[in-house]
Structure 1
Amino acid sequence: MKAIERILNTLTGACFLCENPACTQACSKYMDPARVIRALRFENVSGAREILTENIDCTTCDDKTCMRACVRSKFDQAVAIDKIMTGVGNLPYYESKSIDLSTSLCGVTCENPFFLSSSVVCSNYDMVAKAFDMGWAGAAFKTVGMFVPDEVSPRFSQIEKEGEKFVGFKNIEQISDYTLEENLEFFRRLKKDYPLKIIIASIMGRDEEEWTKLATLVEEAGADIIECNFSCPHMSGTGLGSDIGTNPELVSKFTKATKKGTSLPVLAKMTPNITNMEITARAAIEAGADGLAAINTIKSIMNVDIDTFSTAPEVGGYSSVGGYSGKAIKPIALRFIHDMKVDKVLANIPISGMGGITTWKDAMEFIAMGCSTVQITTSVMEYGYRIIDDLIDGLTRYLSERGFNKVDDILGKALSKIVSAENLERDSICYPKFNRSSCVGCGRCIVSCYDGGHQALIAGEDRKPIMNPNKCVGCHLCTTVCPVDAISFGVRVKKK
């Protein structure tokens, strides 16, 4: 099954994930191939299989109207929808049961774990109302302050890799560009129209008085939780954002000021631009914070133009240090969250996790690391609020298929699997296992093993690898580079 899923990932990767997809509109059997493809792209394989099951079986279709209508064909060639549907039809089908996805954050009940994080994706009434209508449990509204920043243009750029348009993302955008009164009115309207949805008011003051006043105002406007933005890495003024988050004394002072102005739960949003996040997190909790949010974006400089030597996003020939986000920062986020959850002072403190979440699997990793809710921005910016469909469906199906009944059943389950380096097994070797029927003989494992490993592989007459166990140290570089997943973990034996 893994080989089929790998092939499907490759095929669906070509899809533009169009709005009002032409392939679906053109289907003569009234099938929705675009929805199947979207489920696959967001790792909801079981969901894709059910969508195909619930509709007319298009695997026998021979008119290919969907492929003729494919927008991608205007660029190079149509997405191989016929092959995708055939592949999905060969996957196992599991009927999922109803699962309780509700969770809580600092005592506030949430219908599911999925929140929009404080950013441009939730910056006015219409945007957040649309997201709520689509199924998001809540939104950490874009940070509000007593001032309106002057923004630059452009303010976004991305990292590309080997044909992938969007691997990492950088922004140099600041807090809300609406006035405080406009933002407060957004809160009032949203709470009136969506009383069961959760509004997290992200605030940023310039002194203690502003932190206290902002906390009072957002509570009066209908916020359910307050998030202190101690972590924005690119504010144009000093003493703001991550300038606070790296300083335990400032974190403590402004947390106390915020708590002074409200009875609502308060989250301290932590900066990753620090070595030990638990130090400032402890300062926040000891000052009265009820929970934590982590991580914000990472300070970055990216995409130096080798002709002009300017960096992106270029603003009149110049740029600045900005915040890096996207899938690439997920391992960093998980590490910081782990460090806080195993800290004796912070172990039982609620955390709303974020950083590189694209799919339900990503979200589940954060939940397994101890986050009761997760927040998402960059994936929404790339794909839209519609990702909530597969976030909810994918997590529901996973819990159902594994015999769990609710989200809390997996909360923190990964923490015990992470130990200090000296406690790892070091007197045995796990050798790689080669599936020769799946191997295509590309030689990627061989060249990587020789040039970056221990020269333990050579090519046989069929171009496929032959391993020398006397040289293999079980590093599994070969497994990581194999493009067709023909190498896996094999037998573990004691070292000689």
Structure 2
Amino acid sequence: MLQENQTIKRVDMIHCALCADAPCNDACNEIEPSDILRSIWFKNEQTAAQRMPEKNPCITCPAPCEKLCVRSGKVEIRDIMNRMYSQVKKECETPIPNNEDALKCDICGIPLENPFLLSSSVVASTYEMCANAFEAGWAGVCFKTICSLDIHEASPRFSAITGNDGSIVGFKNIEQLSDHSVAENMEIFRRLKENYPSKFILASIMGQNEDEWGELARLCEENGADAIELNFSCPNMAEGGLGSDIGQVPELVERFTRAAKNATNIPVLAKLTPNVASMSPAAEAAKRGGADGIAAINTIKSITGLNIHTYVAAPAVHGHSAVGGYSGNAVKPIALRFISELGLNPALNGMHISAMGGVETWQDALEFMLLGGESVQVTTAVMQYGYRIIDDLKAGLNMYLAEKGYRSVKEVIGLGLDTLSSTTDTLERDTVIFPRFIKERCIGCGRCMISCKDGGHQAIKLDENRRPVLNGKKCVGCHLCLLVCPQKAIAPGIKRVHSYH
């Protein structure tokens, strides 16, 4: 297995644009560089390396792919491919699995080809989009929330916080529900189920009263939906008493869940809001109402930033804006916290958990599974990179299962819960783990020294060669230095037992 310190340099560090129909592919008859680069981005180096020819074609190649690159001169494609051979391919111990049987799972007993679904949003809002996702390899879709409201969206309705390379870290939307009529959406369900009978259709609905929740659930079942997702969590509803307003009141969650459950014979999942201190009250209320599972998390109420000249928050709509829903990889820590809360709650035993919130890579998805998620939903990553990310989601997870000797993805569900506590009170506090400096990686920037001096315990100094030296009497093992080092030249080292006086 490739060790962490051998991982190939990420694409975001070398400016790959992750192009559509990448020009670099036209220059090579041996490999498709864009596929390899994308797999590196999505932490799927091992399967990418094993897809490459046995003999390295890049050693003596003049690299015409770099000349055709849309960022010509900025992406060292040949160097990356050579390092894939020298660092990754030779370290691969487990061959690529010859099938995806280990990925098979289910939602409330209904089979899934793999755990990955599109979540209820613009990425699953038309027949063509859902069909394209199915063709790409997604196991199912949660269709954009169906309602009887007259939906007219604002323009623009998205904003984002980006990283240094321009990729989206956090994403804000002020979008509402499906702008198709109920009848139009039912026609889409019928067509999807006719043409893709093995794919999973999760119908997201939102009613305005008990009768409407029940009627929408019934219609979705009659027209081909495999399960119902109750949207108790949308933060962007113009009218009060809808969306996250419901999810914050357990009594309403129970009442409307019961209304939908009584009207249908297929599984019902309650999609809950993270805009609460604890999700358990609403989840337990959903179970009392008859829900078969929980979906979480929906977006977090947010403001991504203000224009310091116009004083209007983003996105600005004719000089005004609004609080909206925040998603993307930045919300993953919060989503993991809520999924762990659900997974640790014995009152919810037996309920399916469909997890979401910042999933981009197979490792992200696996983390949710380890905390109790049995299926995984994705939106923002698809909006940024397209349906094609399913290739690396499946391949990376499938390889992980093979490496660990698991025959089914179901075997990993909840494995991370036993070591997790909701508070820090239970943690061992009698030892300190010193940092270890990896000299061959250090470039002498001094970032570790600055952070330790101004944000830590003044335990690091630089020697005459600008290399860090640790003062063990001052170091408390906080590991701030590990986090700030731009070269990953610091690792956990020697353990020391505290001496208390």
Residues 174-253 of structure 1: pairs in structure 2 closer than 5 A: 174-253=176-255
For 2:382 and 2:162, locate their aligned partners in 1 and report how far apart those are by CA, in whole Å.
Answer: 18
C-alpha distance 390-236 of structure 1, shift in aligned 2 (>3 A): same
Q: Distance in 1 between matches of 2:124 and 2:43?
A: 25
User: How far off its partner does 1:83 sit?
Assistant: 1.0
Q: Deviations over 1:13-38 (max 9, x none)?
A: 511111110000122x3420111101
Partners of 1:4 and 1:20 in 2: how far apart? 29
Counterparts of 1:319-338 in structure 2, within 5 Å, are 319-338=321-340
Residue aligning to 2:429: 426
- Could you tell me which amino acid in structure 1 is paired with residue 451 of structure 2? S
Deviation by residue 1:315-361 (Cα, 9 ceiling, x = unmatched): 00111010000001001001001111111211332100000000000
Equivalent residue in structure 2 for 1:89, among 78, 85, 90 = 85
Is the Cα contact below 8 Å between 1:3 and 1:484 reproduced in 2? no
- Partner SS, residue 164 of structure 1: coil
Match of 1:63 in 2: 62
* 1:355 partner letter: G
Write the distance in 1 (CA, Å) between the matches of 2:16 and 2:405.
33
Contact kept in structure 2, 1:341 and 1:348, CA below 8 Å = no
Q: Identity across aligned pairs (percent)?
A: 49
SS at match of 1:59: coil
Does the alignment pair 1:80 with 2:76? yes
**Residue deviations 1:154-173, cap 9 Å, x none?**
01111023343311100000
Whether the 8 Å CA contact 1:96–1:401 is kept in 2: the answer is: no
Contact 1:115 1:376 (8 Å CA) reproduced? yes
Q: Corresponding residue for 2:477?
A: 474
Q: Which of 153, 159, 169 matches 2:161?
A: 159
What code does the residue aligned with 1:68 have? Answer: K
3-state DSSP class of the match of 1:415?
coil
Aligned to 2:20: 19
- Do 1:278 and 1:340's aligned partners in 2 also have CA atoms closer than 8 Å? yes
Quote how far apart the aligned CAs of 1:3 are.
Answer: 4.2
Deviates more, 1:43-52 or 1:180-189: 43-52
Once residues 168 and 146 of structure 2 are traced to their aligned partners in structure 1, the CA distance between those partners, rounded to angstroms, is 28
- Alignment of structure 1 residues 2-13 onto 2, 5 Å: 2-5=4-7, 7-9=9-11, 11=13, 13=14
Q: 1:115 offset after TM fit, Å? A: 0.3
| The 10-residue stretch of structure 1 (92-101 or 466-475) with the greater mean CA deviation from structure 2 | 92-101
Q: By how many angstroms is 1:9 displaced?
A: 4.4
The residue aligned with 2:317 is 315
Q: Shift of the alpha carbon at 1:5? A: 2.1
Q: Is the 8 A contact 2:354 2:374 kept in 1?
A: yes
What SS does the corresponding residue of 1:423 show, helix, strand or coil?
coil
Within the candidate set 482, 487, 491, 2:490 is matched to: 487
Q: Is 1:31 matched up with 2:21?
A: no
Whether the aligned pair in 2 keeps the contact of 1:146 and 1:180 (CA below 8 Å) is: yes
How far apart are 1:100 and its partner, in Å? 1.6
CA deviation after TM superposition for structure 1 residue 462, in Å? 1.3
1:278-357 equivalence runs, <5 A: 278-357=280-359
The AA in structure 2 aligned to 1:121 is V
Equivalent position of 2:360 in the other structure: 358
Give the letter for the 1:299 counterpart: K
Supply the distance in 1 between the matched residues of 2:134 and 2:12 (Cα, whole angstroms): 32
TM-score, normalised by the number of residues in structure 2: 0.96
Distance 2:429 2:11 in 1: 35
Relative to structure 1, the CA distance from residue 61 to residue 127 in structure 2 (aligned partners, 3 Å threshold; closer, same or farther) is farther
Distance 1:418 1:229 in 2: 29
TM-superposed deviation, 1:57: 2.6
- 1:59 Cα deviation (Å)? 2.1
Secondary structure of the 2:133 match is helix
Q: What is the distance in 2 between the residues matched to 1:4 and 1:369?
A: 27
Q: CA deviation at 1:481?
A: 0.8
SS at 2:491's partner residue?
strand
- 2:453 maps to 1:450: yes
Deviation digits for residues 250-307 of structure 1 (CA, Å, limit 9, x no counterpart): 1111101101211110000000000010011100001100100000000001120111
Per-residue Cα deviation, 1:6-63 (whole angstroms, up to 9, x for no partner): 534454x511111110000122x34201111011010001012112236x63322432
Partner of 2:51: 51
**Change over 3 Å in CA distance of 1:480–1:328 after alignment to 2:** same
Note if contact 2:11-2:37 (Cα within 8 Å) is conserved in structure 1.
no
Which residue of the other structure, out of 99, 104, 107, is the alignment partner of 1:105?
Answer: 107
Give the counterpart letter for 2:471 in structure 1: N
User: How many equivalent pairs are there?
Assistant: 490
Distance 2:304 2:314 in 1: 6
Letter in 2 for 1:31: I
Deviation at 1:4, TM superposition (A): 4.3
Q: Secondary structure at the match of 2:265?
A: coil
Higher mean displacement: 197-206 or 430-439 = 430-439
Letter of the 1:410 partner, please give it. V
Aligned-residue CA RMSD (Å): 1.3
Answer whether contact 1:114 1:375 (CA < 8 A) is retained.
yes
Q: Is the 8 A contact 2:8 2:40 kept in 1?
A: no
Tell whether the 8 Å contact from 1:295 to 1:355 is kept in structure 2 after alignment: yes
